[in-house]
Chain A
Amino acid sequence: MVEDEDGAPTTPVRVMVVDDHPIWGNAVARDLAEAGYDVTAVVGEGAQAIRVAPAARPDVVVLDLQLPDLSGVEVVRRLIATDPAIRVLMLSASGEQQDVLDALKAGALGYLVKSAKAAELIEAVARTAAGDPVFTVGLAGLVLGEYRRLAAAPDAPVDTPRLTERETEVLRLVAKGLSYRQIAERLVVSHRTVQNHVQNILGKLQLHNRVELTRYAIEQGLDSPGAST
């Protein structure tokens, strides 16, 4: 599911690990450190992560979606509010669900199931650091379903994001388990083009989510920054 890409980064990438299970969090931190990453913080709570983020200045946050205090969506939104350059890679043990989709729409860049092997995780962090979305098969299915849901809404506004035919094709192939390379071969395009398509697919959805939130805030008279809970 995850591309074979270039290996360890040249300049150390700063990573923060957020996970409420210490064994897990420390294991991930150790693997990442061994792979040459600069793990600046390992925290167990969402609020703590938001507090620590300005000091730890991570490039990538590896975030367990199920935290004891805050929802994953909330943590993603606030982390990105503190620093828009932060790239979030979500981890979850309970499979792809609505909360994964919500967190993705809130600005997370990628997603991995917790049972992924250490090598897969390291590679996913590398891709997240490079700004490439990390889609699992399951996440691609969720995103595909989300676009369909938005388009099928009876009173869909004009600015509803829609996939082009080519983007739909790419996303379906991702959801059917093809690697970017296989997709590129099948569609007779370059590997980079496939990556661009996936980036666009994610970007449109996140932009739409921000527009929706703003619209909702204005409607509810909450259009002062930070007024939402």
Chain B
Amino acid sequence: MISGMDATTARPSPAVVAAPASRWLPAALAGVAGCLLLVVATSPPAVAGLPPFLDTPIDNGSGGPANLRDWLFLLAPVIATALGLALLRWWPYLLAAAALMAVPGVVMEWNFTAAYPWALALLPPAGYALAIVALLACAQGLTRTAIGWGACIAALTLGSRLVGAAMTDGVGWLLSSHRPAAWHSALIGVSLAGLVPAAWIHRRGDPAAASPAGKRSWQRARLVVAGTLAASLSIPLSFLTTQSLANLLGVTWSALDRHAFAQTAVIGAITLVTVTLLAALAGLWPLAGAMTVAVAQMAVIAPAILTITALSYNDPLRWLVPLAGAALGAAVAGSRLRVPLAATLAILAAMALFIAYGATTGDPEKLADQRIVIPSVLILVLSASAAGAVIGAAAPALAIRGALPAVVGPLAGTLAVGGLQTIQVTYLRDGEPEPSILSPASHLTTSGILMLVAGASIGGLGFAQLLAARRAERKHAEQIRREAAAAERDRLGRSIHDGVLQVLALVQRQGSELGAEGSELAALAGEQEVALRGLLAGAANTDPGAAEDLRGLVQALAAPDVEVATPAQAVELPSGIAAEVVAAVRAALDNVRKHAGADARAWILLEDEQDGVRVTVRDDGVGFPPERPGEAAAAGRLGIAQSMRGRIADCGGTTTIESRPGEGTEVEFWIPRARQARR
């Protein structure tokens, strides 16, 4: 089982979308190259304690940056993040810049003793921040052409950092004992070479990476602002000294100083709340995405610390295991079933963590202390692949909204750090804090629970995305159906015009000159012509609730003695209201037929005035005197009038009836649009 695991050949499965390879291959290659950069960035040769990715940046209240240099070190990654988020479409060049920014660090590795200007040391952390954003932009662009590869690269942003982190420890570099510089130089060289095709293909920028969702620039601006603010959060927090925090909490300095975890947890809680608000500012989907990704990242930290400590220093297993986990996670993310598989992996990982906790009788450090290999390997492969798969599964939903770089980059990153810091309060044991690298690992159940939460979140996110996609599809299908119906109507209309209507018109015209019988024939032809024209115009039939073109419905009421005038553009009303309006117009026409006189004619005028629709029904019949409504009521007109008025009033509209004896009657319906929106 183990050998099967670490010899993992789980290569990312090919893309689901059948785009030609030339379109996605350079970007996928550049993505992998970018992952190599992350490996370099997260494996500095000599670090005290944990490598940067696993170390939660605790700022123990230094009182804020003291001089320009401190400020620059704090600001460099923030500026890099902001620039990256603003220039997403140039991601291949950003990645290349990030690779070049790693060079001073590697030069220092080659020659430890030489003196370098401190300003050069600004570059590697800024490059690291830039690389993450640019890599996620690459994944975002890829989801357009090859969704599987996009999700894969997104998953690998976590996996590659885990691999890098596993390569270091407090003592030295593992691969070639004391000369990591050669490896780093080689990796940077390879990744620069891997970037070349993408840089060439996207030499005019990659618009898909920028914001595939839409053109509304304020939405992008929201993401850039939220991401930058999240990345810069450590600056205000660094002003929070132990003393000021103690004042804030109303406890003594010494009490707080003794419980360093509590202090960190308070800062973490502040971080959590702030970043959550920032993510909410960016939108609902970014908020859900950031939380899911952050929980997955938090869950993987404790197992990673435990396992990396358990595997001995010069055993290649130590970095092969996270590599296997990363590859498995990427493979799951690349498959069609990324959401259910990611949730399953998360549940399996949680089970493994709970079992490990139980099997060590609540003391998981034993795994590390006694260098127990097989369970450690299992735990890390499952946890790393689950976390990667969750990120990969969340990626498509975020990418189509253009939010992937900001959300999985600075927002989720800072959120995860805040969360880890908050969890630290659980490490407190009464009176006896045990600050140790293994402190997080001793609470393995927390990670297990987080894993379950991550599994549930990705399930929810995937379901929400499915519903959103269904809805969009339905809308799209409805649109297509309508267009097809209109096209079919036009086609029918054209052919009917060329044949039937022409002949009917001819019969009508010539027939009236051939005596009584011919006139009858002409009248029949006229009726049929009008009926046919009405049929053509009114053939559209839509779902209830959908907007309906009132023109077709009204034109269908045309008859030899009823003429209809409408605008050329569609007059859309919700179909329920449109039906009411047509019923009212029909009632008005009935009224004309019953009361206006035998040879009365009628005209219908449909007008679309921006804030509403006006329909007028006029006849040239006998009319009635307006000052004698009682007479009209007696004649039975009022009842019909009431039913018309009722229908229109139900739609929020008004009805006006005007008449004079001998001058016909004019009924005007006014249906305002604003009122309908509220209904």
Contact = CB atoms under 8 A, between A and B. Distances in A.
Interface string A131-161: 0000011111110111011001000000000
Contact of B505 (A66, A115, A144, A148): A115
A145 B566 contact: yes
A23 B509 CA distance: 12
B620 A142 contact: no
A1 interface: yes
Contacts of B567: 141-142, 144-146, 148-149
Contact of B565 (A93, A94, A137, A152): A137
Nearest to A21: B502
B509 A117 contact: yes
B506 A176 contact: no
Given A146-B568, A177-B618, A115 B504 contact: yes
B239 interface: no
Contacts of A24: 502, 505-506
Nearest to B562: A177
Interface string A43-71: 00000000000000000000000100000
Nearest to B493: A94
A93 B609 contact: no
B565 A27 contact: no
A118 B509 contact: yes
B606 A141 contact: yes
17 contacts: A21-B502, A94-B501, A98-B568, A115-B529, A118-B509, A141-B607, A144-B567, A144-B607, A145-B607, A148-B567, A148-B609, A172-B605, A172-B616, A175-B603, A176-B605, A176-B618, A177-B603
A196 interface: no
Nearest to A31: B509
Given A114-B509, A148-B610, A172-B605, 8 more contacts: A1-B563, A93-B505, A95-B537, A114-B505, A115-B509, A118-B513, A146-B567, A177-B603
A228 B497 CA distance: 29
Interface residues of A, number: 37
A47 to B, nearest CB: 18
A90 to B, nearest CB: 14
B510 A97 contact: no
Contacts of B185: none
Nearest to A174: B565
Interface in A87-139: 93-98, 101, 113-118, 136-139
A27 B533 CA distance: 23
Contacts of B608: 145, 148
Contacts of A101: 568
Nearest to A68: B498
Contacts of A142: 565-568
B508 interface: yes
Contacts of A137: 563-565, 603, 605
B569 interface: yes
Size range of the chain B interface in the assembly: 35 or more
Contacts of B506: 21, 23-24, 27
A84 B496 CA distance: 34
Contacts of A177: 563, 601, 603, 618, 620
A140 B564 CA distance: 10
Nearest to B508: A115
A23 B505 CA distance: 12
Nearest to B490: A97
B495 to A, nearest CB: 11
B595 to A, nearest CB: 18
Contacts of B606: 141
A94 B505 CA distance: 10
A111 B489 CA distance: 23
Nearest to A97: B568
A35 to B, nearest CB: 13
Q: Residue among A95, A101, A118, A175 with the most chain B CB within 10 A? A: A95
A115 to B, nearest CB: 5
A74 to B, nearest CB: 17
Contacts of A113: 505
A138 B569 contact: no
Contacts of B601: 177
Interface string A156-185: 000000000000000010011110000000
Nearest to A28: B509
A177 B562 CA distance: 10
Given A141-B565, A145-B608, A152-B610, A176 B666 contact: yes
Which 10 residue pairs spanning A and B have beta carbons closest together?
Answer: A145-B567, A141-B565, A177-B603, A114-B505, A94-B497, A93-B501, A175-B565, A98-B568, A115-B505, A176-B618
